[in-house]
Every structure is written in C-alpha cells, then in structure tokens.
Amino acid sequence: MKTAYLKTTAPATRLPRYRRASNPPPMQLTARDIRIVRLVYEMRFLTREQVQRLEFSPSTASYCKRRLALLYHHAYLDRKFIPAPGSLGSARAIYCLAGRGARLIAHEMSTELRNLEWRPRDADRELYFLQHTLAINDFRICAILAAQRRGFTLDWTDERTLRRQEMRSYVADPKRGGQRVAIVPDGYFGLSDDEHSISFALELDRATVEEKPFKAKVRAYGEWKRTGGYARRHGTDSLRVLFVIAPNDRDRHRLARVKRWCEAEGGRSLFWFAGAPDINEHSLLTEPIWQVAGRDSRYTLLTGG
C-alpha cells in the first residue's frame, strides 16, 4: 500500500452520520490520517475531542471532524454512538478500528493481519467497558502531552497487553491463606529522560469496587513490591501506584474513602491518589494535585516522593 500525503480536493459535501456513504468523496491518506488510525488501534476507542487533543489545534475542530468522517466513510475507522449526557442533544460518536484501517496498520507494522491485537467483533464485545476505556484514554492522553511538554519519553503498556498470560503477575495474599491474586493495572507506564526514570501503575477508580476487594488489591500491590516480584517482572524497583478517582455523584468522598482503606492495610508512599477532574497535561506531573497514603500534604508527581 502506497502512502500518499495529499489533502482531499473534493468539496466538503454533507455525509450521512449513522451509515457509510455509498459514494463518499475521494480522499488520499495523509501522514496525520495514518497516525490517527494508529492511535485508534492502540487505544481501542477515541472521541473526536480526544483525537483533536493529540493531532489538531484547538481551533481546528471542524477539520478534525472532516478527517474523521472521511476515515469512517472510507472504512478505515468505524464509529459507535452513545447517548449524550442527560439524553439531551445528538448521540456522541466514538471511533474504533475498521477492517481497512486494520489492514493499513498491519502494512505499517510489516506484519500479517492475523497478528494484530484486533478482531472485527472486538468493538461490540468491549462496548460494555466503553466509559472505563475512554477514561483511561483521557489519562493516557494527558500523560502523552505532559511528557512532550517536559521532554520525557513515555513508554505505555495497556491493560489488554497486561492481561496476556505471559504478562500477568501473581502474588500470595497473606490475609487469605496465601490465595493467589493477579495484578493487572489499567495501565503501566514509565517516564524517562537522560538522567531519570520512574514507573507507574494506573488504577482508574469509578466507585465499582467495594472495600473488601479494594483492600485485597492494595495488599497485592504491597506484596508484589515487597517480595521483589515487581522488580523481576519489569526490571526496575521504581513504582508508584496511581489511583485516579472518577467523578461520582453517589460517592462524593470516594477519594478520601479509598485513601483510608489503603492506609488501613499499611499502604504508604507506594500509593498516590488524585481526582480525575484535577488532571490535565499541565497539572499531571508538576502541580500538587496528588495525595499520598500516610501523608496529609499534597505533592507533585515528579518531585513529591
């Protein structure tokens, strides 16, 4: 497949929203189009706003919409629709990989289609976890942009990869008779420059885990670190476990609650907490938005340890 770098020359015709056009306007892929398809492949589901944050300026929303529409109508991307908040307004489009996009990714990666971590039915199976995936991607995008701003290299491993049998880590829970517990963060990432490197496990909390299993997760992380299992798996002793607390009207004090649960299990500086609304590419690394188990102050992620 030959990669072209020309913009669409056809006029901006109005395209159907809920089905592919039978005769869409012609397009040729640009380098940015290919990056967008690759981002959707890597992150599974992305909104237009998320794509725009990564690949377009704030003032080019209409152009971003146009490129995504062309990628959809030419079957590089698929899109699903979810109701608008409060059931007001039109449904929100969420983009995922389509067959032609998968073939493009396989070509760009010099591999066979069957080797991709993608199957045509994946998107339908994963729609149940859509809000969770989008929230993880919000954090990941903040990390990407924050790393760029600070000149760091970001290395991200997603939950899908961590769930592979060969990537899973298991520890024995000392309070459950040594019962084996699998540790699968929502994401694992490292930040590095010429002088420093630090690694993080991400746990996105949407108030779906009750106290008992939450405490078991805290114990598992503690044992993973204490016994050296983490260092053997990832080749570093550097680790902070980040609990990012999503907004929840039913539990407005969730962050304070999970911090207390963590401290009750002996959790200390390994565990960090922040509210998702406080996190953006400017605050993530260098503003004191993070609370730490066993401490009362707030810290910056890079220097607070």
Digit-coded pLDDT (tens) for 32-63:
999 999 999 999 999 999 999 999 998 999 99
Q: How many domains does the chain have?
A: 2
% helix, strand, coil for the chain, step of 5: 40, 20, 40
Domain boundary among 89, 120, 151: 120
Q: Are residues 86 and 229 in the same domain?
A: no
Decide which of 98, 120, 142 is a domain's last residue.
Answer: 120
Q: Does residue 161 come out as left (phi exceeding 0), alpha (psi in the -120 to 50 range) or beta? A: alpha
257 in any annotated domain:
yes
Among the listed residues 304, 251, 250, 249, the one whose alpha carbon sits nearest the alpha carbon of residue 273 = 304
Q: Are residues 97 and 230 in the same domain?
A: no
Domain hosting 278: range is 131-299
Question: In this structure, is residue 221 part of a structural domain?
Answer: yes
Q: Are residues 145 and 266 in the same domain?
A: yes
Angstrom distance (rounded) from CA 277 to CA 244:
9
pLDDT the model gives residue 87: 56
Q: Residue 159 corresponds to which tokens in the numbers above?
A: 């939950």
Same-domain check for residues 201 and 84: no
Q: What is the per-residue pLDDT for 1?
A: 43
Q: How far apart are CA 76 and CA 287, in angstroms?
A: 39
Q: Record the pTM.
A: 0.90
**Average pLDDT in the chain:** 90
Per DSSP (E only), the strands in the chain are 46-47, 77-82, 92-97, 153-158, 169-173, 179-183, 187-192, 197-205, 240-245, 271-275, 290-292, 298-299
Asked whether residue 136 falls in the same domain as residue 68, the answer is: no
Q: In this predicted structure, what is the pLDDT of residue 158?
A: 94
Q: What is the CATH number of the domain that holds 76?
A: 1.10.10.10
Least confident of 75-84, 162-171, 198-207: 162-171
